[in-house]
């Protein structure tokens, strides 16, 4: 068995876990907000560098979280589209 060097130190208690702030919103929220504010009924979302199906899923989650029912997300020919309903 290899020898290892170590020390043990007595402590009164374990430290508390650091709390991580919960993320509010999504990095996809600006896409939704820009579309809602626009006058367009249909738009194609491009330039994100994300797979179309992944992007559509994230946009749908953001819409659900924001409780927006007036926007639909769809994928056609590996492109993501938003539609005001």
pLDDT band for position 58 (cuts 50, 70, 90): very high
Quick count: other Cβ atoms within 10 Å of Cβ 14? 6
CA atoms of 61 and 51, how far apart (whole Å) = 15
Q: Is the pLDDT of residue 1 over 70?
A: no
Q: Is the pLDDT of residue 32 over 70?
A: yes
CA atoms of 13 and 29, how far apart (whole Å) = 42
Q: What is the pTM of this model?
A: 0.71
How long a stretch of residues is the chain? 85
Quick count: other Cβ atoms within 10 Å of Cβ 59? 24
Q: Is the pLDDT of residue 41 over 70?
A: yes
CB half-sphere exposure, 14, CA atoms < 13 A: 3
Q: CA torsion angle for 65, 36, 59, 67 (degrees, to 10)?
A: 20
């Amino acid at each position: 068995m290899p020898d290892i060097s170590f020390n043990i130190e007595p402590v009164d208690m374990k430290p508390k876990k650091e709390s991580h702030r919960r993320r509010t919103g999504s990095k996809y929220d600006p896409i939704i907000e820009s579309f809602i504010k626009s006058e367009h009924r249909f738009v194609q979302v491009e330039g994100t560098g994300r797979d179309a199906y992944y992007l559509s899923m994230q946009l749908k989650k953001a819409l659900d979280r924001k409780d927006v029912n007036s926007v639909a997300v769809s994928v056609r020919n590996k492109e993501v589209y938003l539609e005001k309903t």
